[in-house]
Amino acid sequence: MTGTQNWSEDTLRLNAICPYYTMFPLDFPLQQLAAKPETTRTLDPFCGRGTTLYAARLAGLPSVGIDINPVAVAIAQAKLAQATSTSVVRLAREILSNGSQHEVPDGEFWQWCYEGETLREVVTLRENLIGLNTPTAATLRAIILGILHGPRNKGLPSYLSNQMPRTYASKPAYAVKFWKARELEPTRISALDVIGRRVDRMLKSSPLSQGGHVYLGDAVETLQRISQKFDLVVTSPPYYGMRTYVSDQWLRSWFLGGPPEVPYNSSGQIARQPNQEAFTRALADVWAATARRCYRGARLAVRFGALPSARTDPEQLMLNSLRQANAGWVVKEVRPAGTSPKQARQAEQFGKAGSAVDEVDVIAELIGSAMTT
Ligand SMILES: C[S@@+](CC[C@H](N)C(=O)[O-])C[C@H]1O[C@@H](n2cnc3c(N)ncnc32)[C@H](O)[C@@H]1O
């Protein structure tokens, strides 16, 4: 038994603190950890919401994650943080009781998305959490990202917004039209109540943190300045042809200090490469930088895919990038992804993009490089 079946549902909950557009199932990194039992520290250079980091925590190991998207980093940080629900609720209460001097964003979208008092609470939490970096603040921040938008439910509310999807934020013009057409006025929702309920569920039975760090930045640049070494790397680069990581998370980006509108520049995103050759080269650079931070014998497990519209064979692209890296990675296994017990495929998370994404798992071993010890 190497997957999530080893843990209770309550222990796994923290991993679902906030959805992120493309996340792989926890079973994938758990299976890789089981396949490399001598692992001491795990790396994910494209960590997204930190699924690999949470798997390492479950396995009792420290880990390091890197991502260029602040939303991903904020969620991943909560996967490593040690906090109690009492401390998270206390922090939220303290922030809210100090009141707000801050201006709320202007415009129809904001008036329709949140009821007035709820919006003031969201703005107060936002302003006070920016730059606050304790484990409790990291957990509160990720909790709020997870409740910022989502469907209106019948019982006690689970989200702060008017009706919205929870996985991605609707574009303002579309959302306003939707709410107006249905006469869906936003209702008063107490941020503290929703935070309290959510954090109790998330932290009820969370495992002890094992330490580690999440870096905000480009994978190659970050790998060049960190000093740790790893024996297991489990990762999933942006799928080829996938370009909406940043704009789909615009409301969560705003909460973290971004502008109150949809940002269309996604600078630094590896998926922004102009063509397949450049994308392959950029991935090769990541595998080379990763090799320099790995011990000889390290295992690299990559889940990769391409959108059908990109007309690319993800297996070939991935194998070419490892070859071009010329860093000592020897491919041991290539198999179709989604052979985990639950058949949970990352592709299913694409929703709008369709589920016919071609995905592959590539496993490689480091046979040696200039810097291995
Ligand atoms: C497929 S997602 C990873 C999802 C992750 N496995 C999870 O379970 O959440 C790929 C991630 O790579 C990040 N990324 C893109 N370009 C990057 C770069 N140059 N350096 C670091 N991360 C990058 C994206 O922001 C995105 O979060």
CA of 101 to the centre of ligand 1 (A): 35
| 48 Cβ below 6 A of ligand 1 | yes
Measured from the Cα of 272, ligand 1's closest atom is: 16
| 139 Cβ below 6 A of ligand 1 | no
**Residue 275, pLDDT score:** 86
Tens-place pLDDT, residues 170-196:
999 999 999 999 999 999 999 999 999
Measured from the Cα of 49, ligand 1's closest atom is: 9
What CATH homologous superfamily does 4-80+215-366 map to? Vaccinia Virus protein VP39 (3.40.50.150)
**Residue 34, pLDDT score:** 97
**Residue 1, pLDDT score:** 52
- For residues 74 and 79, give the distance between their C-alpha atoms in angstroms, rounded to a whole number: 9
Q: Are 372 and 366 in contact (CB under 8 A)?
A: yes
Q: Return the domain boundaries, the chain.
A: 4-80+215-366, 85-203
pTM exceeding 0.85: yes
Strands (E), the chain: 42-44, 63-67, 212-216, 230-235, 294-306, 329-336, 358-366
Phi, psi of 272 (to 5 degrees): -80, 0
Measured from the Cα of 67, ligand 1's closest atom is: 22
Mutate to test the pocket of ligand 1, among 63, 67, 216 (most ligand atoms within 8 A of CB): 67
| 31 Cβ below 6 A of ligand 1 | no
Which residue type, as a one-letter code, is found at position 340?
Answer: S
The protein residue whose alpha carbon is closest to atom 12 in ligand 1 is: 46
Tens-place pLDDT, residues 50-93:
999 999 999 999 999 999 999 999 999 999 999 999 999 999 99
The protein residue whose alpha carbon is closest to atom 7 in ligand 1 is: 23
| 218 Cβ below 6 A of ligand 1 | yes
Residue 165 corresponds to which tokens in the numbers above?
Answer: 């999807």
**Residue 352, pLDDT score:** 40
Q: Please, what are the averages of pLDDT over each run of 10 residues along the chain (373 residues)?
A: 84 94 88 97 97 98 97 97 97 90 91 97 96 96 98 94 95 96 97 97 94 97 97 94 78 94 72 84 98 98 85 91 98 82 40 59 84 43
